[in-house]
Chain A
Amino acid sequence: MTESKGVENMEIKDEGIIKGIEQLSPDKIERVIQNVLKNETGARLKTYVDTCVHCGLCSEGCHYYLSRDKDPRFSPAGKVKQTMWEIMRKKGRVSPEFIRNAAIVAYTQCNLCKRCAMYCPFGIDIAYVISVMRRICHKLGVVPLYIQDTAHSHSVSFNQMWVKDDEWVDTLMWQEEEAQDEMENLRIPIDKEGANTLYSVIGPEPKYRAHLIYQAAVIMNAAGEDWTMPASPGWDNSDMCMFTGDLEMMERLKRKHFETAADLKVKRIVMGECGHAFRSVYDMGNRALGWKMPPIEVVHAIEYYHELFSRDRIKIKHKLDTPVTFHDPCNIVRGRGLHEMARSVVKATCKNFIEMTPNREHNYCCGAGGGVINCGPPFKDQRVESSKIKAEQLFAAKAEGAEIVIAPCHNCHGGLEDIIHHYGVDMELKFLGDIISELVELPE
């Protein structure tokens, strides 16, 4: 287990926030807030804030609240109280100290997972309200350092991890070569115009988890997919700008991604096992660009695997014996209802499947999403501390026999890994792709 300081007494030392606050004056804060409220929000925000009857029923919905001994400051409405209520009541006349706390709350104590929207009797979208707070913080220049760095990377390189253009192509060719040891004729077709499917991944894949590209290539080749990956920027579907509140940059990223697919004249985009990128492509980014639904069909890895199994496009050698449980990621379950498809893929590949409780739409968040894990080391202890309820949920699944947690989302992996390590849950963590690529029958 990792050492963890008591959260209460832990002073958060984040250079992005500290330096950002130093630049602020009450006048500047008021001007920026007025600007955001007047130009970027409307009846929706007003209705949400004015309709809340302070009943506290949203509390049950939040894993922070449940994990932090029901401290009311961590309840969804409690977080709105510390941010937008006060701001709207005072019409933006708040102190730099207020913004410091509001930034910490908005960026690191809410995963924007929208579970609370299912617990509020009015269906108030608190994640939206917190996003407005983040937008204000972004415009004030008060953003946690680590996530701001990824946003900078996005704006410089169009990918999240400062991956250089040649490194990207080099990684694809390297993974192709690696995979050819297993499957001689395997190819990762780069920039193949007119391919049926464009496969896009998130920046951290080439940076830290290159083997996932290998695995995707194995599955695509086994399925005989007519696919391609782009050679130039636009290959990264991730989007930390969406979470920092840099909405202009979010639009540029999504435009680049969609245009890359359009330039290659593909029919659809299949994306890897990532949740936030799906939210960005399917929900936030497309809307910001004026598309009600994505301009090109976007298929999440779960849907894709489901298609492969249901149409008999791949076969597996045998099912996995080890008992597994499944973690429902917010962005593709509450964000796209893929929970039943995911279960059918799990059942197609694993012999023993054990549900964790609660599950599906009601699953507890991994604690990492919404950009929280991307705020980095200064917030790690409090993040893991805020996932106690998740650890309990995992322990319960383990007690029923589950040894592997399947989580089809990168952020969830990051979050769950820390939870498993810190609380000593001792379970193995896998992507669906890990299992499928290992078990898939390769063509002769």
Chain B
Amino acid sequence: MYTVYSFVTGPLAWIAFIIFIAGSITRFAMLYSLARKKDGVVFQYMSLKFALRSILHWIIPFGATNMRKNPAMTIVTFLFHICLLLVPIFLFAHIVLWSENFSVSWISLPDWTADFMTLVVLGSCIFFFARRLVLDQVKYLTTWVDFAILIIVAAPFFTGFWAYHQWAGSDVMTIVHIVSGELMLAIIPFTKLFHMFLFPFTRGYIGSEFGAVRMAKDW
């Protein structure tokens, strides 16, 4: 068990991080060079002021009309994204690992808070899953990949919660937790999860078009 543990926290973790970072940089570089060649228009019309104006309206809860039309989705989406980002970075158990291996540390979330936030992530995933099954307009667009991504995102939180509470088989769960977390990280550059990096650009561009050329709001 210990060998498996040191493998998944050692080489496999390195591989996952390298795939995530190098993959993201490569995908980004490829898109950028393609845009330079083919989408001159994007560079011409991109405006920092209007890009930020649009991004701001869309990262503030209920800052856009459509968010007000779908209050449940808005609340769940915001909570989900906040918890999804904060928990892995500020979880005490994770910081301990950073501290042991690289002698760096930062403030951590109280365990009970992280625990609650984990449940928020899992609850949100169930909400998104149900949405894909129930709402016609979402069902029509959904493919098996969308479900798979949801499961991959939920997995590290589910297994982490299990391991933290030391339920039956928590040793194995810890290994599954680490592997699933690494899997999620590694698929980011190759799946729709990459939207985390593209959001500022797609939003920023339409914000620039609407703001600087069309002189209209886009929220």
Contacts and interface: CB of A to CB of B under 8 A. Distances in A.
Interface of A: 41-44, 46-48, 50-57, 59-61, 65, 70-73, 75, 77-78, 81, 117-119, 121-125, 283, 287, 292-293, 333-337, 339, 361-362
B66 A60 contact: yes
B38 A54 contact: no
B192 A53 contact: yes
Given A81-B140, A121-B66, 5 more contacts: A44-B42, A47-B31, A117-B210, A292-B45, A339-B216
B202 A123 contact: yes
26 contacts: A42-B34, A42-B38, A43-B31, A43-B34, A51-B199, A52-B192, A54-B138, A54-B142, A54-B192, A57-B70, A57-B73, A59-B137, A60-B66, A70-B136, A77-B141, A118-B65, A118-B217, A119-B65, A123-B58, A123-B202, A123-B204, A123-B205, A292-B44, A292-B45, A334-B216, A361-B218
Q: Which of A75, A118, A283, A334 has the most CB of B within 10 A?
A: A118
Contacts of B65: 118-119, 362
A53 B65 CA distance: 19
Given A43-B38, A51-B202, A54-B146, A335 B136 contact: no
Contacts of B139: 72
Contacts of A42: 34-35, 37-39
Contact of A117 (B42, B142, B206): B206
A71 B137 CA distance: 7
Interface residues of B, number: 52
A55 B35 contact: no
Nearest to B42: A44
B148 interface: no
Given A42-B37, A46-B34, A72-B139, A60 B70 contact: yes
Nearest to B197: A51
Contact of B202 (A41, A75, A124, A335): A124
Contacts of B203: 121-123
Given A46-B31, A122-B203, A337 B214 contact: yes
B198 interface: yes
B66 A44 contact: no
Contacts of A60: 66, 69-70
Contacts of A77: 141
Contacts of B5: none
